[in-house]
A and B are shown apart, each in its own frame.
Chain A
């Protein structure tokens, strides 16, 4: 079963613009992770945010977590063509060690 659901499912922007994607989940979590996947290849870990954190930054990435709304957002600032990929949120459903992924969001950054 998929717990996380990314929104929107697809986004197309111009280089230099910001991209925001949202994730909603259903059960309690210990942490939430965001991953990037290029053309059906392996997943690249972007950032992990724990349930006791509200915001986290890493380079051009900003992640927020609202456990009361069971939602998270990933902001990519000053996007580049190389950011074109599918993005997934994943949660440790109920604190277990397995990751539960959403269906992903396809981001296209046009040069």
Chain B
């Protein structure tokens, strides 16, 4: 049973560039959430996708956008990169219809460095 997978593992970009990160959810899960974790901090919620639509969004600018595909996999896109976007980007998957909420399972993350 494959867990949550993310690609790439590491990425180096320069300011102003655009980046796309990818996530495949755990088998059987239909909901994908994205989090940003700055060094020494806890993860911060970016947004969540279910049925190919953005359902909830955290306090992140429009430069952060996403997409969910029919197979439930997801992409996170960040435009006009800033130095402050350097972080570990985590994808989490869960089952939407679980009663009273359910565990979110996280992938290994993508380490993005913006120079």
Contacts and interface: CB of A to CB of B under 8 A. Distances in A.
Interface in B6-55: 31, 33, 35, 39-45, 48, 55
B58 A31 contact: no
6 contacts: A35-B106, A45-B103, A97-B55, A98-B45, A98-B48, A98-B58
A50 B98 CA distance: 13
A41 B90 CA distance: 9
Interface of B: 4, 31, 33, 35, 39-45, 48, 55-56, 58-59, 88, 90, 92, 94, 96, 100-109, 111
A95 B58 CA distance: 15
B108 A41 contact: yes
A45 B42 contact: no
Given A1-B59, A43-B43, A48-B103, 4 more contacts: A31-B101, A97-B56, A98-B45, A101-B35
Interface residues of A, number: 29
Contacts of B100: 30-31, 50-51
Contacts, number: 74
A41 to B, nearest CB: 6
A1 B43 CA distance: 10
A80 interface: no
Nearest to B104: A99
Contact of B109 (A1, A41, A45): A41
Contacts of B44: 101
Contacts of B94: 97
A86 to B, nearest CB: 9
A18 interface: no
A104 B90 CA distance: 16
B56 A2 contact: no
Contacts of A35: 106
Contact of A40 (B55, B88, B101): B88
